[in-house]
């Protein structure tokens, strides 16, 4: 081993800075009272809270009167629906609108809202616990290079999450309700449907009271536009919201995280819209029988919803294989970090491409917008991508073995579950229990697992004061 005394150990502040959510941990009674095992490993707190919410939701959905059928809903149906709602996925074994009663719909709505807010705040809470554990060295935690979340902004992050969620959901609910009322829906139903679908859309959940999702509005630009706005807003993430609030007129002052999120999201949206519209243009089973303007609108919306929302204007069971493959890629990329969306996150994908571009150009540093990306972030992006791809691989194999899926369908459904998107090519309660359990596990891992992996990679980074001698294997 070759000593490397010049290599300085990064402190805990630097390690947490790389994650992208800054906060300041102040000693609080709540944190002091947390069980020591959670203080030692805050990732456990996130997983435990989500698991508890899923179990409570399952219990509630199994109560008499929650489903239209006599008696109680089956355990597997209730568990699957609760997991899908809390993880804001949107996969469904039964039709939400017809299977569950009004009380069941309210329960699902509450689970989706709690799940969405939990996603937005859980990382900040985990950081509070983590920094409390780190002691004095972690009292001040920075953020990305422009300090998208500055010192003392833990409360600001939580407040922003709640305020943006409330304002966006109320605005979209009013818009949807008004549109429905103008189309002949009675006032009470219009308001309820507006509220339900606004919460579902902003939280990228994909639950709908309409059996055909949004297919009935495929030719309505106003309705599709409102859903698209809600999905995009929910998928940006808390750091971007704070950055835009502070400097929305001065893009030069945006953090690298915000720039990468907005740039990569725009590129993926345009790429997905172009390819999906092109592939499905002549498919009469999906959008091929619509007018040219409607086809283009459906293609754009399909690209937006594939980024973790789960709504659809056509049946993906009739889509071409090429469309499903492109949608797989969009789902895997996901939305912004610290958002209600899933996937590996667009910034992770951006870092991967920046690494490749730097290697092609024989650059020593990975750079973007005049900033260098730290090596720790590069390793983290690779690790998260490899872990996500591995889960999709083994989940897809399990689905192929347990359910009557072909390869394309198994890959599509598995990716949709892991990325908490909610698009599917057909699920039913009659599926084998192994397949249902596999999807439940993938939804939980996709929502909670990637958050905990991110924290674990940040907090378990153990710098060394020495290095082994280098030896280069042949790659490529």
Range with lowest mean pLDDT among 16-30, 116-130, 263-277, 301-315: 16-30
Q: Looking at residue 450, what is its pLDDT? A: 65
Range with lowest mean pLDDT among 53-62, 146-155, 452-461: 146-155
| Contact residues for 168 (Cβ-Cβ < 8 A; gap 6+) | 202, 230, 233, 234
Digit-coded pLDDT (tens) for 278-308: 999 999 999 999 999 999 999 999 999 998 8
For residues 37-65, average pLDDT: 82
Specify the residue for token string 């958002």: 339
Do 408 and 324 meet the contact criterion of CB atoms below 8 Å apart? yes
Whether 107 has a pLDDT exceeding 50, the answer reads yes
More confident residue, 140 or 127: 127
Count Cβ atoms within 10 A of the Cβ of residue 187 and give its class: 0-12 exposed, 13-18 middle, 19 or more buried.
exposed
Spatial distance between the Cα atoms of 431 and 434, rounded to a whole number of angstroms = 8
Specify the residue for token string 């309700």: 177
- What b/e readout covers 396-413, taking b as 16+ CB neighbours within 10 angstroms? bebbbebbebeebbbbbb
Whether 27 has a pLDDT exceeding 70, the answer reads no
Digit-coded pLDDT (tens) for 245-267: 888 888 888 999 999 999 999 99
Range with lowest mean pLDDT among 26-30, 174-178, 341-345, 383-387: 26-30
pTM of the model as a whole: 0.86
Q: How confident is the model at residue 469 (pLDDT cuts 50, 70, 90)?
A: confident
Q: How confident is the model at residue 157 (pLDDT cuts 50, 70, 90)?
A: confident
Range with lowest mean pLDDT among 35-44, 115-124, 238-247, 253-262: 35-44
Question: Helices (DSSP H) in 183-282: which residue ranges?
Answer: 187-202, 221-234, 238-247, 256-280
For residues 228-242, average pLDDT: 92
Q: Looking at residue 122, what is its pLDDT? A: 67
Q: Looking at residue 189, what is its pLDDT? A: 96
In degrees, to the nearest 5, what angle opens at C-alpha 128 toward C-alphas 122 and 134?
A: 135
Helix (H, G, I), strand (E, B) or coil at 2: strand
Digit-coded pLDDT (tens) for 169-223: 999 999 999 999 999 999 999 999 999 999 999 999 999 999 999 999 999 999 9
Q: Looking at residue 94, what is its pLDDT? A: 94
Tokens of 79: 């568990």
Tokens of 410: 């198994």
Q: Looking at residue 339, what is its pLDDT? A: 87
The fraction of the chain above a pLDDT of 70, given in percent, is 80
For residues 401-423, average pLDDT: 92
Q: Looking at residue 468, what is its pLDDT? A: 80
Q: How confident is the model at residue 59 (pLDDT cuts 50, 70, 90)?
A: very high
Count H helices and E strands in the chain, helices first.
19, 4
Spatial distance between the Cα atoms of 67 and 287, rounded to a whole number of angstroms = 34
Q: How confident is the model at residue 16 (pLDDT cuts 50, 70, 90)?
A: very low
Do 2 and 467 meet the contact criterion of CB atoms below 8 Å apart? yes
Q: Looking at residue 42, what is its pLDDT? A: 61
Whether 120 has a pLDDT exceeding 90, the answer reads no
Whether 58 has a pLDDT exceeding 70, the answer reads yes
Q: How confident is the model at residue 123 (pLDDT cuts 50, 70, 90)?
A: low
The fraction of the chain above a pLDDT of 90, given in percent, is 63
Taken in order 197, 201, 203, 209, is the CA torsion positive or negative? positive
User: What DSSP string runs through 21-58?
Assistant: ---B----HHHHHS-HHHHH-HHHHHHHHHHHHHHHHH
Count CB atoms within 10 A of the CB of residue 333. 26
Q: What is the mean pLDDT of the chain?
A: 84
Per-domain residue ranges for the chain?
Answer: 2-467
Q: Looking at residue 117, what is its pLDDT? A: 87
Range with lowest mean pLDDT among 6-10, 288-292, 382-386: 6-10
Whether 67 has a pLDDT exceeding 80, the answer reads yes
């Amino acid at each position: 081993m070759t000593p490397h005394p010049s290599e300085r150990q990064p402190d805990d502040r630097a390690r947490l800075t790389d994650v992208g959510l800054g906060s300041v941990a102040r000693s609080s009674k709540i944190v002091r009272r947390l069980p020591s095992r959670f203080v030692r490993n805050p990732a456990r707190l996130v997983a435990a809270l989500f698991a508890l919410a899923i179990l409570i939701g399952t219990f509630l959905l199994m109560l008499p009167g929650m489903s239209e059928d006599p008696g109680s809903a089956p355990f597997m149906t209730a568990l699957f629906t609760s997991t899908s709602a809390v993880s804001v996925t949107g996969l469904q074994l039964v039709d939400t609108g017809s299977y569950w009663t009004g009380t069941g719909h309210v329960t699902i709505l509450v689970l989706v809202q709690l799940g969405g807010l939990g996603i937005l705040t859980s990382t900040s809470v985990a950081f509070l616990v983590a920094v409390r554990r780190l002691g004095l060295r972690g009292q001040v935690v920075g953020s990305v290079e422009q300090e998208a979340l500055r010192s003392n902004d833990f409360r600001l992050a939580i407040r922003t999450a709640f305020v943006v969620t409330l304002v966006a959901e109320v605005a979209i609910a009013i818009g949807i309700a008004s549109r429905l009322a103008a189309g002949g829906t009675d006032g009470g139903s219009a308001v309820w449907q507006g509220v339900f679908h606004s919460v579902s859309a902003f939280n990228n959940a994909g639950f709908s009271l309409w059996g055909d999702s949004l297919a009935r509005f495929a030719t309505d630009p106003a309705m599709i536009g409102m859903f698209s706005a809600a999905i995009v807003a929910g998928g940006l993430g808390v750091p971007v919201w704070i950055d835009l609030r502070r400097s929305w007129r001065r893009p030069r002052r945006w953090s690298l995280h915000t720039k990468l999120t907005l740039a990569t999201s725009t590129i993926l949206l345009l790429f997905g819209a172009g390819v999906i519209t092109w592939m499905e243009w002549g498919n009469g089973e999906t959008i091929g029988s619509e007018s040219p303007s409607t086809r283009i609108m459906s293609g754009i919306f399909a690209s937006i919803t594939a980024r973790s929302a789960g709504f659809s204007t056509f049946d993906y069971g009739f889509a071409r294989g090429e469309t499903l493959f492109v949608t797989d890629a969009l789902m895997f990329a996901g939305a912004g970090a610290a958002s209600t969306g899933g996937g590996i996150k667009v910034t992770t994908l951006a870092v991967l491409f920046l690494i490749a571009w730097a290697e092609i150009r024989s650059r020593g540093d990975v750079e973007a917008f005049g900033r260098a990306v730290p090596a720790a972030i590069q390793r983290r992006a690779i690790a998260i991508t490899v872990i996500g791809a591995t889960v999709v691989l083994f989940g897809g194999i399990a689905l192929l073995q347990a359910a009557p899926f072909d390869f394309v369908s198994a890959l599509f459904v598995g990716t949709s579950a892991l990325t908490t998107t909610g698009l599917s090519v057909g699920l039913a309660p009659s599926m084998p229990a192994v397949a249902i359990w596999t999807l439940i596990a993938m939804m939980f891992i996709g929502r909670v697992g990637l958050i905990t992996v991110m924290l674990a990679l940040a907090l378990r980074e153990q710098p060394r004061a020495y290095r082994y001698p280098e030896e280069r294997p042949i790659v490529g």
